[in-house]
Amino acid sequence: MRYEKQTFRNETVTLDGNEFIECTFAGCRFQYSGGDFNIDRIRFDSLEFTVDGPAARTVLLLQSLWSNEVGRQAVQSMLEGTAKRADA
């Protein structure tokens, strides 16, 4: 579903399968399971972020890699590459 210029307050917002354009989030929790989503020009005053399913397994992998210097460099390189692709 596409949400545009809407305000969400004190609720859990599922990212998977949704698109949020110029939306505002006040006291919300983002829930992500690994599916497609789009967020563009959003605003928030605070944010809680939770993951489950495939997304949770990805976070566990990244945490494990982060535990040593070589893994940390690999994760940072991946994040920088992702940011560059998003800017293109």
Q: What is the pLDDT of residues 12-67, one digit of tens each?
A: 999 999 999 999 999 999 999 999 999 999 999 998 999 999 999 999 999 999 99
Domain limits, the chain: 1-51, 53-88
Please answer whether residues 2 and 17 qualify as being in contact, where contact means their C-beta atoms are separated by less than 8 angstroms.
Answer: no
- Cα 18 from Cα 34, distance rounded (Å): 12
Residue 88 has pLDDT above 70, yes or no: no
